[in-house]
Structure 1
Amino acid sequence: MSVNKNVKIYTKEGDNGTTSLMKTRNVPKNDDRIQLLGTIDELTSNLGLLKASGISVEIREQFERIQKNLMTIMAGIADPYNKDYRFGEEVVAVLEEEIDRLEEGFPRDKKFVLPGKSRISAQTDIARTVARRAERWMVAVDRKFTVDKNAKRYLNRLADYLYVTARYMDFLEGGMDETTTQMKPAAKSDKGAVTMTDHDVIQAVLEKLGQGLGRISLESAKKLIGKVEEECVRKGLSAVIAVCGPDGNPVAIHVMDNAFLASFDIAMKKAYTSVAVKMSTRELGKLALPGQTFYGIDKADNGRMIIFGGGVPLSIEGRIIGGLGVSGGTSEQDAEVADFGQSVLESIL
């Protein structure tokens, strides 16, 4: 491969504050078209950062398609009379279909969300805000020079897509929305004695579990593992039993005699997956089949997601305090033991 060393990256032509479009020279660098092109370039770079951040193959491929579409939009801004750079309505429709598909895959709260539940979703929210800025610049350019109508529609849908994608990533990470919970005042009996509200009862249960912040304690995890081990012995299984907190971090891991070496890593991943997606890994496996909502999720998060039975979220009164992972038998056997673990959770009090 030969390299022309006489061609330099800098040309000095922009030193006077002007630049060129495809067929227009000496355009001021603060021209609305240049502002728009620069913002779309910034958006494309943000998507590039996301592609390199360990996201699922499916979303990475979608981001790459979006980058290519954005480059077409940039070419259309620089050369607005070239029909090769104009979009058909089907390009917008594809993005709308992807938005609808993602929204069907998780429960999305209809309220304001504070970005920052996870690093990857926060970066996606940054890309979303850049997309909105690009859309505003496009409106300004359209008023002066006109732009492709489908390019305008695409940028509008793109911001919506990035918002839903960020919330989807929060869901996969197990992030919960920021909410303000107002405690109900304690009720009084006829004799004036203070009685416990439902909220107080839940808090008392959590405190007894050792959960000041709603997470399973090491002591409670050990008791649960003991119960689960008894069930494994009854079924003739030699398993690894893992308990993690609601954040997916390990709390306790127990290796039974003669358990498979590979079961250690698998059990921990099952526990992690169950809290990440807020469902059992057996249920997730059904949703991860080709054509289903979570198809390809096992490739996400650097391979930490497990899509076969044996992992369940541990919950008290609908509140997830951790996850349980069991690995040692068949997928169905592991799932049965994990379900047993959830069923006896309250009995360890």
Structure 2
Amino acid sequence: MGYRLSKIYTRTGDDGSTGLADGSRVAKSSERVDVIGTVDELNCQLGLLIITLKDDDPLVGRLNRIQHHLFDLGGEFAIPGSTVIQEDHIQWLEETLDDWNEDLPPLKNFILPGGSTPAAHAHLARAICRRAERTVVSLSHQDAINPESRNYLNRLSDLLFVAARLLARRDGGQEVLWEPTS
């Protein structure tokens, strides 16, 4: 196996900077670090969603695969100029999205986050994914990025919305429909 961290603290970040995988150092407040951190947060939220599901749930395998993609995506942003996410990653998301969406009824109302614990976790993952996408767009105004990475996050947020819909409807459950107050 490759390099392992044997010492977790280095004190090199005490000045407010952090090291990227290419050896360069940037401010912890930089757009690039914000992207990496938000993608990591999204991956953590997917982990929370997964543990609410049974091991044999058909969504688990695909969500696990997405977690691996997200780890790759974080690595892509940790090495400026690198490209890991490709069109085939997006195509796989689209195929998964089409498969999951196939038996859902058409939307006639907006849906509120909730319906069940797993659905609420999927909605939160979707919201974090949208924030990750926004941070990538912001970074793209300063640095060149792989556009497929931005597209991946855009498609992933759609997939997470559909996952939330599926999860809310399980076992006789229902989606929580928005009711306008005025």
| TM bracket, shorter-chain basis | 0.7 to 0.9
Residues 34 and 135 in structure 2, CA contact (< 8 A), matched pair in contact too: yes
Structure 1: segments with no counterpart, 5+ residues: 181-349
Bigger radius of gyration, 1 or 2? 1
What letter corresponds to residue 105 of structure 2 in structure 1?
Answer: P
Q: TM-score, normalised by structure 1?
A: 0.47
Residues 40 and 131 in structure 1, CA contact (< 8 A), matched pair in contact too: yes
The verdict on how the C-alpha distance between 1:161 and 1:40 changes in structure 2, with shifts beyond 3 A counting, is: same
Provide Cα deviations, 1:274-322, integer angstroms capped at 9, x if missing partner. xxxxxxxxxxxxxxxxxxxxxxxxxxxxxxxxxxxxxxxxxxxxxxxxx
Q: TM-score, normalised by structure 2?
A: 0.88
Shift of 1:26: 2.8
Distance 2:87 2:47 in 1: 25
Distance 2:78 2:178 in 1: 45
Pairing 1:167–2:172 present: no
Distance 2:145 2:104 in 1: 36
Residues 106 and 171 in structure 1, CA contact (< 8 A), matched pair in contact too: no
Residues 47 and 67 in structure 1, CA contact (< 8 A), matched pair in contact too: yes
Shift of 1:176: 4.2
What does 1:78-97 align with in structure 2 at a 5 Å threshold?
Answer: 78-82=78-82, 85-97=83-95
| 2:19 alignment partner in structure 1 | 20
- State, as a whole percentage, how many aligned pairs show the same letter: 34
| 2:117 alignment partner in structure 1 | 119
Which has the bigger relative contact order, CA under 8 A and spacing at least 6? 2
Residues 117 and 176 in structure 1, CA contact (< 8 A), matched pair in contact too: yes
The verdict on how the C-alpha distance between 1:133 and 1:172 changes in structure 2, with shifts beyond 3 A counting, is: same
Distance 2:177 2:16 in 1: 46
| 2:137 alignment partner in structure 1 | 139
Residues 114 and 175 in structure 2, CA contact (< 8 A), matched pair in contact too: no
Residues 33 and 141 in structure 1, CA contact (< 8 A), matched pair in contact too: yes
Distance 2:134 2:178 in 1: 31
Pairing 1:76–2:55 present: no
Q: Which has the higher strand share?
A: 1
The verdict on how the C-alpha distance between 1:122 and 1:108 changes in structure 2, with shifts beyond 3 A counting, is: farther
Q: Indicate the RMSD between aligned Cα atoms, in angstroms.
A: 1.9
Structure 2: segments with no counterpart, 5+ residues: none
What letter corresponds to residue 58 of structure 1 in structure 2?
Answer: P
